[in-house]
Structure 1
Amino acid sequence: MRLRIPSFLFPATLRGRLLLLGGVLQLLLIVLLTLNTVRLWRDSARHTMQVRVQEVSRLFGAALSGPMSSNDYARAGDLLDRLRAPEGIDYLVLLDAQERVITARSWDVAQQLPAVTELQAGPLPPVAHAEVRIEQGGLLLGRLRFGLSLQEQQSGLERLLLQNLLLLLGGSLLLLLLLATLGLAFRRRLLHLIGEVESSASKRFEALPEIHGDDEVARLSRRVVAMGRSIREQIDVLVQSERKFHSIADYTPSVELWLNPEGKLVWVNTMVQRLTGYSVNACMLLGDFPLSLALPEERARLADTLHKGLAEHSEIRDFEFRAVRRDGSYFWASVDWMPIYDADEHYQGLRLSLRDNTELKDDRLSLRKAVIELRQIQSLGQSYLQRAESERSRLTALLSAMRFGVLFVDNDNRVLFHNPAFSMLWGVSATAVLAGRPIGQVLQQAENRPAIGDIIGHYLEDHALGEERVDFGELTMNDGRVITQQCYQVLDAQGAANGKMWLYEDVTQQRQLAERMINLAERDALTGLYNRHRFQQELERMVSEADRRDGTMALVFFDLDEFKYVNDTFGHGVGDDLLKSIGREIGSQVRRHEVLSRLGGDEFAILVPDCNEFEVSKLAERIVANISQLQFAVDGHVLKPSSSVGVALFPQHANTAAELVAHADSAMYQAKAAGKSTWRLYRAEADQSKSALSRLSWKDRIQEALENEGFELYFQGIYDARTRELEHLEALVRMKDPANPGNMIMPGHFIPAAEKTGKIIELDRWVIRRTIQLLAEKPHAPSIAVNVSGRSFDEPGMPDFIAGMLREYQVDPRRLLVELTETAAVSDLRDAQRFIDALRDTGCVVCLDDFGNGFASFAYLKQLKADVLKIDGFFIKDLPSDRDSQVFVRGMVGMAHDMGKTTIAEFVEDETILNMLVEIGVDLVQGYYLDRPMADHPGLRAPQEHRS
């Protein structure tokens, strides 16, 4: 039973609904205003009461403090009588400090006093109970409890509510009356409009009058007229659509049917007569069409499949069955069906498409054969595709692992691919999608851009589009890094342009290292003074200027007396510190226009322009005096170095720069011959006697040692930096001292003389022969490295000599390492390159010694195809405390490893240096920390000797 709503609760007319809505709104407004008025009045009354309680409390406290302090309780009672009447106080109770009642007004003292009223929230009580403390000088004298009546406020609230309610009710009645009047007029006009619309609708909206005016009803009428015209147009469209539908449905290549959910034929197009011979009406009368078309043996299969489709709302494609036409001829029928729904998604049955499939049956065998062939082709194509995907994956992994930034763009300069290195170099987010974006837009929005204005124009220059490869030089990025950029044209199989590949490389470290190497090219890394290269340039310049202006200049040569003793006794570290002190001391004696250089070892030179013999002699005296006064403390020992100084003047003593150097060097040896710690001006007669005699003496001693087994080999181990296992040995030559049997002369004393007299080549051959003999005698021994001097580069037969010795003693060439001094190799690059190539042909391992000492190490490393690089000990000695040395060593090791070369670090004198070298990545190490040179090195002993 449906619930019937009374008409007065929900009126049927619009006017009644408007009046009801207005009344409800008015009632709601009255309730809200009343509640708000009560809330505001209570808040105001509460505030007023709080203020009044505070004022009365202060009044009572002030009035009663006097009588209470003097215990005049009678006077206090009189004051209570006077204070109660005008203030409308309900009761008064005065208590002493011990909470005993002294006197009371309008209160039964037998009753318990009520709690003090909290006036913070909630409704106001009829009486507000309060308490005031009576104090004097901070002393509690008593308490006064009193009550304030709120009856006057309550009566005021009631009068206010009554007045507001009457006003609101009157306004509401007037508003309802106004709404009723307006609703009546509005209803009349709406009824008139409804009548016109109903009349026009019966004529298919052909004559719907417009109502003029600007009120709501007029605007509504115009909207209704527009709607009527739209409906008229839609009706015409529907008529046309129906005609088109019939045209399309009747002239389709297949028979179209509609079966309702019960399987009854609802509609069929006229194509059915051409296919089956049955007319549309005949099909409708058959009752079971299209089942009646199927042959008896096919009908059950068709019926089951069709009923299943109707029940499950399923669709099917190309269901075939044997059918018979009205004239009795047979054909293969193919039917498709799918469920259809109305606009409300209600199931309406199936739509079927029936066609003659006889010709397709004839082509089935051909099609099946073609399908087999296509599957074979597809399988082959899938194989090619998988192979291409595999190649693509490997190529992507390779590009992602590269440290070079790679960017591919198409012919329109839109990004096709980029690897992670490109994103890192340009500051592009790794998650940013760049594919398809113009290259200019990508690079303009990159965080790390180069400091050039028109980056887009830079990348769209004409030559970047026409040449196969364009080197765009270097870019300095915002973060200070330097990158190189190259553009390669990408060609397809036909040779047509298919985009471009941009290649970027971060060369910041190489550029920084190159700049430091340039500085190293002119400065001695130990003392900071000019090196031999810069000295030679300044010498040539000063000699040229003096010759052009008919001026003078002087060359001052000096070295430290017995400096080899310091190195051999206290170590190279102490020797280096001494050289630094000498450089600082003499540097303070040199004027700005004079050039102080360290030529190598303990040799120094000063170029003095525009000077005379007196000025240079004073400078030489100062050098000798200052060095002799220098005291150098080492482990409790005080070293007092001395120096021998030689001076030569231009043009007084020489006509060329080379001659000036030779004569200054000769003058220095004249000073040494004079007892050392002195200086000498070049004298030609002294040079022709004592210097020549000294060199001749060393030449004879070297020759005698070569003929009488006066040399002996010492060996120092070279170890794996990480495992500290012995890798190979280095052979070091020593000369036996005939004057002191059992003592050895260090190479620093006889090697320079051997080089000057030409005996160095014979000495090199002796060392090589003795080493190869030892390798043949001890097949268990590790490989041995020998040093070859720069003079041997000029000896064409030296590589053949080495190869002949190896063949004669049947020694594997890989067991012999040949060390070449890098500075000597660079000074005669062509001979060195020829010499190294010849050595490599013999199968020997080639090592470049003192690597990094020359100013052009990295520049010539590619030409000098050495297998091993031995880093100069200068960079190793102070490695933990020298930041620049760390940078150089890292650069050398990184570059050597990139070129497939092994690195050796010499002068490893403590654990700290060794650990740092391991961290840097040095392969092999050598130094006093691991072992010292010795004639009977443990590495040469047979395994049984080790066990014994």
Structure 2
Amino acid sequence: MRNSNQKKPPSFARWVYGGVLATTLLFVTVLWFSFMQSIEERSERSALYARMIEGMVTRTLEGLEVSLVSLSDDLIDGDLRPGHTQRIRDKALKILKFAPQLRQIVVVKGDKTLADTHTDSPYNINLNILGLDRSVRSSYSLGLIVGNSLKGRFLPPEGTFPDEASLRELIPIAIETRSPQGERLLIIATFNPSYLTRYIGDLELEKSDSVYLTDVDGNVLLQQGLFGPNRQYVIPHLKAILSEGADEHRINNSFGAIPLNTTAIRLLTKYPLTVAIVVDHKDSFSLWLQQKHSLLLILLVAVLILIGGALFVVRNGRRAIEMKAEVALLSEVVEHSPTVIVITNPDGVIEYVNECFETVTGYHKHEVIGRTPRVLKSGETSDIEYINMWKTLTAGQTWQGEFHNKHKDGSLYWERSSIGPLINEAGEITHYIALKQPITAEKKAQEKLRLASAVFSVAAEAIMVTDAQNRIQMVNESFEQITGYSEAEVLGKTPAILKSGHHTPDFYQAIYLKLEESRTWEGEVWNQRKNGEVYPQWLTISSRFNPAGELEGYVALFSDITQRKHDEAIIIHQANYDTLTGLCNRHLFEDRLKQALALSDRSQTKTALLFIDLDRFKYVNDTFGHFAGDQLLKEVAERITSCIRKSDTVARLGGDEFAVVIPELARVSAIEGIAQKILQSLVKPYRLGKNEAYISCSIGIAIYPDNGSDSERLLLNADNAMYKAKQRGRNTREYFNQQLNEDSKRRSLLEQDLYKALERDQFYLLYQPIWSVDGSRIESVEALIRWQHPTRGMVSPNDFIPIAEESVLIHSIGKWVIQEACRFARQLSDSYANAPKVSMNISSSQFRRGNVAAQLTDELTALKLKGSALVVEITESILLLDEQKIFQQLESIVSMGTDIAVDDFGTGYSSLSYLKKYPVQRLKIDKSFIDDLESNQDTQSLVSGMISLADSLSLKTVVEGVETQGQLDLLKQFGSPMIQGYLLARPMTGDMLLTLLKNRTTTAVEK
């Protein structure tokens, strides 16, 4: 029995060893076929990429061809002169703007370059080396020619060659055409190969793969990947595909059964170019190992288990029971493994899950066995990922990735999976094994870490992290930008490296005490940059603790507030000081004035307020421009400041108004000296560029507490005193008194009544005739406004017109005057064939608004009245404005047939040049020249000169204020002016004027 038993084990061993060997050979065969399948997939992918690159190149060249053909059409439609070639260049520049794959476009006639987008002064290029004449042309395209690949960024000039050391490359592409004279024209564009290189680089090519773009002769235009050896496989295969007439070709080069490389060639349909991809299989084995490492590991483990098991069975059959126990133990390990294990059949139906699966998913085994893993789908993982996974698995490869799955209770969780196929001896997939590990917590931690890192990196504030000993552990980029220190320079050091020396040790001690109390501190600190610059920063420090509650260190956040403090200073200055003169503005002035009044109350002294308004400043602005006006205001500010004490305050209240506060006056008489000093200083000449200007000022003076108990009343009273100084002739000072207060109140009440006068129909017009010098004919009548107040009686225009002009009322009143005057002119035209014109006064404020011509047009149209029935009287001040808007209005008025008359001529500041510039037809000599006409020889000469001047300019003259026969007789000697005055007729109502005209007409008929 022993001998027979001793012979059985060797025979059994042979069977076991044979089985192990066969299994190993089967594994090796499966792996060999898997390896060959991997090579075939890589070869097929190269053919696919060749078609993709061919399509990309074809589409790109089609777009370029259309652009060059369009440029060719425009080229042959012109005469090739500089203007035409410039337009061609402009269009080429637009093509370059929308074609990033192009660098340069040139147009060549013969050997001469006509246009070049690279330069405004085109140079002849070296055509001989471009290879355009030797290029094969396709009959399918519109004539696109592809030349040789060159080094450099732009086409080489004539007589030069490409820079072989250049990192740039270009491919010349051209369109050939003929000019109307039959001359050969060539449009050449330089194609940027890097445009295709980037596209090829985005493809999933291996490092050992080579991509070639060649012409049909095999000349390489573009090469990507390995250089040199692989190109030898392209040319023979290219000749083969051309001889066969095929579009593509793929061939393997092998050494026996071992593949060396695969060459895939694809011809471009429309262009004489080819795309070739050479796949070098030297690294295919390593790539295959990377793809199949899990499967190989499983097979290796399986082989080792088989061998170990065979050895175990053969050498010690008695350990079979122990082996069974070990298998049971392994089963228990799998069942109770902390890793989720799922086994499915080839259709993906679950056949086994372990206990960890139940714990992670919430499903019991009986609920999922017989179902597919789709029961866990959450919808968060895209279908494309599942499709790619099954492609990998059905190809016999192991797939690794992440799933966003759903628990039985509906909650979502992340898991990392490794799924591999089990393949039987026949090469069929029998099962899939999935090993899964929940990573939800890991995902959340990674996301928090990513967000924290992103915030730390991009934070605008500097962040500094220290340990418990206050040594710097970490800083962000903002810290480096603000302090100038790099992270390497400050790691391990304390924040003391940033100290500026501006703070005492007590300051820092207080910070640490605050951190101990409340674990945070915030405030402003002055620190020093690496370059020594001291700057302010807003600093926030927080203590950080470990889970045990022990101090771990500090986190400091700070920002550079230099600009903010600068802006605050600017804002404070702008809020309190005038930007032009640098003086106190109204806001700071009011504060200084209140302080001065309070100081006067404490010291029992007086405070003086001087309100200063410049005389004729508007004239300077209008004559020399606003820039000159600003210069003058600056110098005025300096002169006033030089006239007062350092303790006094000078302010610019706005425009050309200034104020001076003089506190703690021991003697009121001292004000007089200051006022006179200011008057004398401001009257001196001002040099404004090349011009010289002269102004003066009017000063109103109010004393606290005599002339007001608060700052508002004191300012108002000083303002009233200033207006009194204006009325006294300007360039003087005036003290506030009770009479001024009463005048101010009366003026205020009059203004209030004026607002109601128009709506209550309290205005009416009188008409004063303007006669011919012999008194035989009324040439025109002047409309004069009057105000009949119900309690005040007749209010003089001299009282209410200035108030109306200072407010917006002048526009409403002026419009009413235009309407009433036009109605009366219509009435005169209806009554008399040669009716006198109606003359109306229009203020400069109405012209500034810009609607005078429009108002007249509306009235003339509504009343069907001719413009020749009216005369518009303006003052000389309007001519001084020199504004285009006013000039246009006057032109429009004259175009209606209406005359323009300059009222009060000779009393203003206008120059005679304005009489030529503006469309004026009449001059009205002011009454002030007529009052002493009989007794003053100089006045007679002046009036005679003005009438002669008007005659020489073909202007009509009206003399106002003629009240005596002697005045009229003298005027007759000077010429034939028109006469207006009480001697011939006073202002009268419209009815009285109609009666006067009727009586004169009757008298004339009787004669």
TM-score by length of 2: 0.35
Larger radius of gyration: 1
TM-score by length of 1: 0.37
